[in-house]
């Protein structure tokens, strides 16, 4: 919702009720609750058409009649939530059944309007309240998600610090990449971030980007730079933090989920690189020792 216009989806099969809602919203400037807000209304008569409109448009709130030609009662609310999980929904009914209203609130409805008592101030207030509630929920979810991400980053860093092998001890540089070669580090972060986008696209649209091969190439570059698990975690963490700025909660969670798999895959390829390097180095040392022994004899 921008600062002046609220896009409302009304799912209502009663033309008289739909006309009333339209008239009240068209004259919303007379409502003290509007505070300069105007409304753009889209109306459908069935739930299935309403779901189609949701796929086409970007709405701020839904007004849902619980009794529709193709859906009745709580099922209407549940089906709508499946298609618009983060959309504030205000239910409308002419029924006097309080149990239905309580059930709707328990299942996540953001408001309730009794058809016989709808008037301008009440309608506008209900819409603003529902949107405000959803914004608050989104903020809480974002805070929780950020805490979860920070915990994941910390766990990865703890894992990186716990990895100590003879190979890493001999091969890894003493200084992190972001300190020793900051420009190259930023290039690696960008490469990893691009792979995150390609991985999401590959999963969502079933296209082939050959992510594994590109990850192996990235691991070879890290190996050449004598990078270690801490560097992989640093690249992963920075790329994720940059990607999760100014995106929806769903997109941020998708990045985090895909990143869990990618960072482990990248560490695996890096470990494989060092195993091959170490084995090759060991073979050279063995050959050199044999040659020296032969010359001594």
Position 40 confidence tier, pLDDT thresholds 50, 70, 90: very high
Residue 184, pLDDT above cutoff 90: yes
User: Coil, strand or helix: which one is 61?
Assistant: strand
Highest mean pLDDT among 82-86, 214-218, 222-226, 256-260: 214-218
CA pair distance 18, 21, nearest whole angstrom: 5
Burial 231-257 (b: 16+ CB within 10 A, else e): bbbbbbbbbbeebbeeeeeeebbbbbe
Q: Give percent helix, percent strand, percent coil of the chain, each to the nearest 5.
A: 70, 10, 20
Position 173 scores a pLDDT of 53
Residue 181, pLDDT above cutoff 90: yes
* Domains of the chain, residue spans: 5-135, 163-296
Position 297 scores a pLDDT of 54
Nearest to 21, CA basis, from 8, 32, 35, 2? 8
Select 163-296's CATH number: 1.25.40, 1.10.3710, 1.10.287, 1.10.1240: 1.10.1240
100-104, 146-150, 154-158, 278-282 — which is least confidently predicted? 278-282
> Taking the alpha carbons of 275, 278, 283, 286 in that order, is the dihedral positive or negative?
negative
Position 162 confidence tier, pLDDT thresholds 50, 70, 90: low
142-156, 159-173, 281-295 — which is least confidently predicted? 281-295
Q: 5-135: which CATH architecture?
A: 3-Layer(aba) Sandwich (3.40)
Residue 286, pLDDT above cutoff 60: no
Position 200 confidence tier, pLDDT thresholds 50, 70, 90: very high
CB-based contact 62:75 (threshold 8 Å):
no
């Amino acid at each position: 919702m921008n600062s002046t216009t609220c896009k409302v989806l009304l799912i209502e099969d009663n033309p008289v009720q739909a006309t009333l809602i339209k008239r009240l919203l068209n004259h919303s400037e007379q409502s003290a609750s509007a505070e300069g807000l105007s409304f753009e209304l889209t109306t459908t008569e069935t739930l299935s058409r309403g779901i189609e409109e949701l796929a086409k448009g970007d709405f701020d709130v839904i007004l849902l009649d619980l009794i529709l030609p193709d859906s009745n009662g709580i099922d209407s609310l549940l089906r709508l939530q499946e298609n618009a999980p983060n959309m504030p929904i205000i239910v409308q009914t002419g029924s006097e059944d309080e149990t239905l209203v309580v059930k709707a609130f328990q299942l996540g409805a953001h408001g309730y309007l009794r058809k016989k008592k709808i008037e301008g101030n009440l309608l506008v207030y209900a819409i603003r309240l529902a949107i405000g509630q959803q914004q608050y929920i989104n903020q809480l979810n974002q805070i929780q998600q950020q805490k979860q991400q920070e915990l994941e980053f910390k766990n990865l860093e703890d894992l990186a610090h716990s990895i100590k092998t003879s190979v890493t001890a001999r091969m890894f540089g003493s200084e992190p990449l972001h300190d020793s070669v900051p420009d190259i580090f930023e290039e690696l972060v960008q490469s990893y971030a691009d792979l995150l986008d390609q991985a999401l696209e590959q999963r969502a649209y079933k296209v082939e980007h050959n992510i594994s091969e590109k990850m192996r190439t990235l691991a070879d570059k890290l190996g050449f730079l004598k990078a270690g698990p801490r560097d992989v975690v640093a690249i992963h963490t920075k790329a994720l933090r940059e990607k999760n700025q100014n995106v929806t909660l769903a997109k941020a969670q998708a990045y985090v989920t895909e990143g869990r798999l990618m960072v482990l895959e990248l560490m695996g390829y890096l470990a494989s690189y060092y195993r091959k390097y170490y084995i090759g180095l060991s073979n050279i040392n063995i050959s050199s020792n044999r040659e020296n022994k032969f010359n001594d004899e």
